[in-house]
Amino acid sequence: MNTNSDSWPRFYNFASNSRLTDSLVYALARKEAFLQHTRLQKQFSHNAANLTDLWTMMALRFILKNKLLFSPKAEALNSSPSENKVVLDVQGVLNDPWSWQIALDFPNTMIYGFRLGRSLQTKSNTGEQPQQQEEQIQHQNQQQNSQKSSSGPTRERRSSIVSNNSINSEQSTHSIQSIQSVPSYIAAKYTIDHTGGCPEVEQQLHGKGAGPANYIPCVGHTLKKMPFDDNTFDIISAKSLWYFVSRDDWDLVLKELFRILKPGGCIEMVISDFIILNGSRADQFYWGRVKEGTDRLGLEQIPSAVLPHYLYNVGFKDVNRALIALPRGWGGQMGHVTDLLALYYTESIINTFASLSPDEMEHFTSMSKDSEETFSANQMSLVYATKPEM
C-alpha cells in the first residue's frame, strides 16, 4: 500500500478517537513518555509526524480553543457554507497531519497544504537520478491529461485555484529544472517534488483518497514565488516560518503571502523564539549554543519581536501579537500540557541548531528530566494580521 495513502487512515483514527479534554487528562502520561524516550517511532509516512508530534499538535490545539486557526477571520469560515472559502497551510515539519486537522475542523472550507520540495541536487529517497525523475514527471503529466476528461467538478474546482503558469513546467519559475534548495539543516525533512508545481500530480503521488475530501496537497520550490494567483486565500496559516526563513528573506516571503491573500484576509503565525525565560546556568549555556547556530544561518533569534515590523512594512494592517510563556515544571494539569509543548520545542530547537556533541546531548537530556527545579519557560507568540480591503 502507498505509505502516504496509508497515513491518512491512521491519522483519521487518531483524530476520531481524540477527545477535546485528552490533552489535559493525559498530559502527565504523555510528558513522562516523552521524557523517557518511549515515543512511538513508527512513522505514519516517511515525512509525516510520529505520535509525539500529534500529541503536541493536539496540545497546541487545546490551548487555541480546539482549532488550529485563531484569527477573527477563522470564526467565519463555517458560518456560510455556500461561499467559496479557501485556506492555505504553509507546512513545516508536521506536513500533512496539521493540514488534515484544519480540514477536519473546517469541513466547509477548501484547505491547501503547501510544502517545499527538496532540491534535485541530491538523489531522491528512491535513488532516482534527475533524468529518471524528469521521465517520471512526463509520464505523470500524460496520465493527468488522460484523466482530465473523466474528472468531476470537484477535481476541476481543486485545480482551478492554481495559477496556469505553475502547471507549465517548461516556462514556469516552478519548473523541475529550477528547483531551489531549502536550507540544508531542514532539507532532509522534505521529499523530492515530482510535480513541477502542479497539485493535481501531487494528489496522485499521495495516493487515492489520502486526506479529507476538502484537502489538496501542493508542492512548491520556494516561498518567494508561489504557484497561486493574486487574492486567492481567505486565510494563510504559516506556523513554521520562524525556523527556516532568514532575516534577509522575511520581506520577500511576506510580500508573496500578501499577494496571494484576499483583501480582508488574515495571515496567522505561531512563533517559538530561540530563547528561554528564567533559565538555569545550564539552560543559558545550551541556548547560547542555539544562538550561535541561528546566527550562522542568518535567523532572527527573537522573530516575534521583529515580525510586526515586517508585516507592516509589506502592507498588512491590524497586526496582533500575543506572547505566551510555556512553563516548564510548574506543576498542575495545565502545567503538564505546557511542559509537553515546551519540552517538544526545546528538544527540536536544541537538536537542530545547537550542534551538541553526544556527551553534551546526553547531559541536556538528563537536565530536561529535572526541569521541575528550574521553573523556566519557553516563549511562544501568536501573531495575525489583515490585508487591507481594496
**Model confidence at 130: pLDDT above 50:** no
CB 193 within 8 A of CB 221: yes
**Model confidence at 213: pLDDT above 80:** yes
pTM metric for this prediction: 0.76
pLDDT-derived band of residue 142, with 50, 70 and 90 as boundaries?
Answer: very low
**Model confidence at 366: pLDDT above 80:** no
**Model confidence at 226: pLDDT above 60:** yes
**Model confidence at 243: pLDDT above 60:** yes
Distance CA 153, CA 160 (A): 10
Which helix (H) or strand (E) element contains residue 265? strand 261-277
pLDDT of res. 369: 60
Distance CA 244, CA 184 (A): 10
pLDDT of res. 175: 26
**Model confidence at 351: pLDDT above 60:** yes
Owner of C-alpha cell 506543576: 331
pLDDT of res. 37: 55
Q: What does residue 57 show for φ and ψ, rounded to 5 degrees?
A: -60, -45
Owner of C-alpha cell 500575543: 322
Note every long-range contact of 173-178, with CB atoms under 8 Å and residues 24 or more positions apart, other chains counting.
Answer: 173/225, 174/220, 174/221, 174/225, 174/227, 176/120, 176/133, 176/134, 176/137, 178/221
**Model confidence at 161: pLDDT above 50:** yes
- CB atoms under 10 Å from CB of 237, counted, come to 27
pLDDT-derived band of residue 373, with 50, 70 and 90 as boundaries?
Answer: low
**Model confidence at 253: pLDDT above 50:** yes
Average of pLDDT values for 29-58?
Answer: 66
Does 311 or 218 have the greater pLDDT score? 311
Most confident listed range (30-34, 69-73, 112-116): 69-73
Q: Are strands 110-116 and 215-220 parallel, antiparallel or unpaired?
A: parallel
**Model confidence at 171: pLDDT above 50:** no
pLDDT of res. 333: 87
CB 166 within 8 A of CB 195: no
pLDDT of res. 370: 58
Average of pLDDT values for 343-347?
Answer: 86
pLDDT of res. 206: 45
pLDDT of res. 181: 36
Q: What percent of the chain has pLDDT over 70?
A: 67
pLDDT of res. 86: 93
Q: Give me the chain's average pLDDT, please.
A: 74
pLDDT in tens, 281-328: 888 889 999 999 999 999 999 999 999 999 999 999 999 999 999 988
CB 57 within 8 A of CB 98: yes
- CB atoms under 10 Å from CB of 150, counted, come to 7
| Of the candidates 86, 327, 108, 339, the residue with the CA atom closest to the CA atom of residue 218 | 86
**Model confidence at 131: pLDDT above 60:** no
**Model confidence at 208: pLDDT above 80:** no
pLDDT of res. 111: 93
- Would you state the cell numbers that stand for residue 261, as one nine-digit string? 491573500
- Would you state the cell numbers that stand for residue 376, as one nine-digit string? 523556566
Question: What Rg, from alpha-carbon coordinates, does the chain have?
Answer: 21
Average of pLDDT values for 172-186?
Answer: 34
pLDDT of res. 374: 65
pLDDT of res. 71: 94
pLDDT of res. 219: 84
Residues 6+ away with beta carbon under 8 Å from 285: none
pLDDT of res. 82: 54
pLDDT of res. 375: 80
Distance CA 87, CA 113 (A): 9
Average of pLDDT values for 80-96?
Answer: 82
pLDDT of res. 300: 94
CATH class of 6-118+199-387: alpha beta
Q: What percent of the chain has pLDDT over 90?
A: 36
